[in-house]
């Protein structure tokens, strides 16, 4: 992948490629037909650990070529600001649409998506807007009530490790859901702030929803449903 300097206003697009876009005025606001493609392509699993956004996006762009069997050969993805590309992302998701994978990857870097006619543009979230409002998901809310954890015990356990436990336990317990929606996805906002968050807790025969509530509250955090995922965020962070 070759990154282009700010002097270059435009570089020809190639399917399934990552392109830096700088100083290019007037991008179209027309809703892109490729939104359906983004929502249809299912990502089996991704895991980024302090990965630069430019590398994460390159990976997802390349992955779109593998997943897209319609003959379009992948998705064009543009990084509007080169500085964004150096921000790091820590994220693990399974069985999720490419649209959501891109959305949360960008979100963790303080960015958002704009779907154009032939490309996805990733741009900084304006400081006065904050992160997008979480989206309701009644089916996921029901799953959190129906899945019951037989027992759990945390003893001064890092919040990150507790989330790993919940992710693994959901995969073990969620045997009735269709293969494409099995398990639970968690997104940890501000992971750098979670390094010192710990929890001590012991519970038995507890629904996932309540186990998450107690765990996050005791760690000084909270959880929220956002579309197909569960956000874990600092208790005092604005919605």
pLDDT in tens, 99-127: 999 999 999 999 999 999 889 999 999 98
- For residue range 72-88, what is the model confidence (pLDDT) as tens digits? 678 889 999 889 999 99
**In terms of Cα–Cα distance, which of 203, 206, 212 is closest to 231?**
212
Residue 146 lies in a domain: yes
Task: Please say which residue of 60, 92, 124 terminates a domain.
Answer: 124
Q: Are 167 and 212 in contact (CB under 8 A)?
A: no
Same domain, 98 and 175: no
Residue 133 lies in a domain: no
**Domain that residue 146 falls in:** 138-234
DSSP symbols for 58-106: HHHHHHHHHH--SSS-S--EEES-GGGGGSEEEEEEEEEEHHHHHHHHH
Same domain, 169 and 91: no
Q: What domain count does the chain have? A: 2
Least confident of 75-84, 150-159, 215-224: 75-84
């Amino acid at each position: 992948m070759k990154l282009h300097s700010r002097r270059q206003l435009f570089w020809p697009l190639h399917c399934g490629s990552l392109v830096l876009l700088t100083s290019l005025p007037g991008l179209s606001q027309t809703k892109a037909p490729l939104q359906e493609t983004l929502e249809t392509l299912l990502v089996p699993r991704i895991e980024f650990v302090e990965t630069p956004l430019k590398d994460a996006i390159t990976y997802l762009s390349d992955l779109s070529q593998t997943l897209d069997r319609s003959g379009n050969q992948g998705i064009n993805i543009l990084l509007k600001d080169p500085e964004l590309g150096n921000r790091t992302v820590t994220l693990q998701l399974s069985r999720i649409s490419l649209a959501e994978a891109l959305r949360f990857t960008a979100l963790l870097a303080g960015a958002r998506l704009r779907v154009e006619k032939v490309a996805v543009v990733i741009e900084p979230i304006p400081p006065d807007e904050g992160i997008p409002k979480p989206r309701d998901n009644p089916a996921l809310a029901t799953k959190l009530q129906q899945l019951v954890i037989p027992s759990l015990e945390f003893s001064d356990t890092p919040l990150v490790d507790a989330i790993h436990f919940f992710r693994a336990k959901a995969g073990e317990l969620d045997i009735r859901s269709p293969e494409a929606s099995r398990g639970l996805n968690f997104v940890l906002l501000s992971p750098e702030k979670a390094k010192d968050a710990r929890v001590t807790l012991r519970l038995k025969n507890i629904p996932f929803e309540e186990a998450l509530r107690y765990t996050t509250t005791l760690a000084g955090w909270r959880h929220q449903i956002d579309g197909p995922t569960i956000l874990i965020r600092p208790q005092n962070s604005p919605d």
